[in-house]
């Protein structure tokens, strides 16, 4: 059975492995970025476990703006207790566990947490091929993002929670 829980620092080696098999070197979070996220935003960083093995992750800080900005990939601050916009900087599932509902479960878990803390929206950027995936979860495509992360074209996706 899938278990979703808050991240712990000892999860770091497994997180780095998943991140690097799911994203290109330019896109993937660094070890240092993950360490900062675990330290400052563990309350919005979740892992999915199956038989005590981490098979997926979702994370992102709560931000003041509706859209993700590139500085968030390196500059993380603690989340406010309520309000703001729940960003998603990373959603990744080990290739052997994809298409089994792990990403859906992680998204649903983060949305429940965000609603409990009265976040206005959930916001993320994604590549064009993933727009339909996020639209299935209530996200709206709000056009090309200003993000230059990894040298790619990203799309702003937003899901109003209230």
Mean local confidence (pLDDT), 105-123:
97
List, for residues 59-68, the tens digit of each pLDDT value.
999 999 999 8
Instruction: Map tokens 């003041």 to a residue.
Output: 64
Give the pLDDT confidence score for residue 113 in this predicted structure: 97
Mean local confidence (pLDDT), 154-160:
96
Residue-wise over 85-114: b if at least 16 C-beta within 10 A, else e? bbbbbbbbbbeebeeeebbebbbebbbebb
Cross-strand bridge partners of residue 4: 48
Give the pLDDT confidence score for residue 75 in this predicted structure: 81
Mean local confidence (pLDDT), 139-154:
92
Query: DSSP secondary structure string, 29-79?
Result: PPHHHHHHHHHHHGGGEEEEEETTEEEEEEE--EESSSS--GGGGT---PP
Mean local confidence (pLDDT), 27-41:
94
Domain range spanning residue 101? Answer: 3-160
Mean local confidence (pLDDT), 119-135:
96
List, for residues 67-109, the tens digit of each pLDDT value.
988 787 778 899 999 999 999 999 999 999 999 999 999 999 9
Query: Based on the structure, what is the number of domains in the chain?
Result: 1
Give the pLDDT confidence score for residue 72 in this predicted structure: 79
| pLDDT greater than 90 at residue 7 | yes
Give the pLDDT confidence score for residue 148 in this predicted structure: 87
CATH of the domain at 74: 3.40.630.30
| pLDDT greater than 90 at residue 151 | no
């Amino acid at each position: 059975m899938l278990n979703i829980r808050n991240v712990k620092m000892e999860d770091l080696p497994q997180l780095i492995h998943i991140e690097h098999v799911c994203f290109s070197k330019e896109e993937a979070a660094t070890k240092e970025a993950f360490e900062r996220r675990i330290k400052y935003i563990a309350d919005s960083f979740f892992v999915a476990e199956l038989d005590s093995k981490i098979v997926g992750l979702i994370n992102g800080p709560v931000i003041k703006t509706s859209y993700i900005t590139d500085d968030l990939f390196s500059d993380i601050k603690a989340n406010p207790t309520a309000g703001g916009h729940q960003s998603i900087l990373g959603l990744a599932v080990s290739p052997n566990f994809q298409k089994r509902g792990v990403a859906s479960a992680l998204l649903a878990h983060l949305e429940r947490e965000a609603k409990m803390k009265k976040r206005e929206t959930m916001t993320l950027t994604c590549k064009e091929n993933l727009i339909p995936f996020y639209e299935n979860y209530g996200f709206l495509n709000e056009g090309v993002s200003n993000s230059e992360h990894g040298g790619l074209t990203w799309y702003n996706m937003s899901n109003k929670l209230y």
